[in-house]
Amino acid sequence: MNTREKISIILISCGLILALLPLTGNRSFTVNPKKLISEAFDEKSYFTVDQVARFIATEDSSVQFIDLRSPEEFSKLNIPGSVNIPYESFKI
């Protein structure tokens, strides 16, 4: 067996292991809508303008900005690293 075949077998094996890895364990990502809304409007989930400016200036990776504007508005001007999820896409 040549080196190319050995590397291919190793890569395919690693790919299969990584593909089957999420199947192990019991991970549930369902969210109770009432709990999510109550947590979103909790007093401790708000940031001041100064705190948000500091997050942007330091490029803090622990904070994810979600832009609720339309894709057209988002493409014109946005905060680097922010994610666009248009408000209209939420179904309540």
Q: What pLDDT does residue 29 have?
A: 57
User: How confident is the model over 44-76, as pLDDT tens digits?
Assistant: 777 788 888 888 888 777 778 888 899 999 999
**What mean pLDDT comes out for the span 76-85?**
86
**Whether the Cβ atoms of residue 36 and residue 45 lie closer than 8 Å to each other:** no
Total-model pTM: 0.45
Closest to 47 in 3D by CA, of 59, 68, 63, 34: 63
Which pLDDT score is estimated for 32? 74
Interatomic CA distance for residues 49 and 40, integer angstroms: 17
How does strand 66-67 pair with strand 83-84?
parallel
Phi/psi at 40 (5° precision): -70, -35
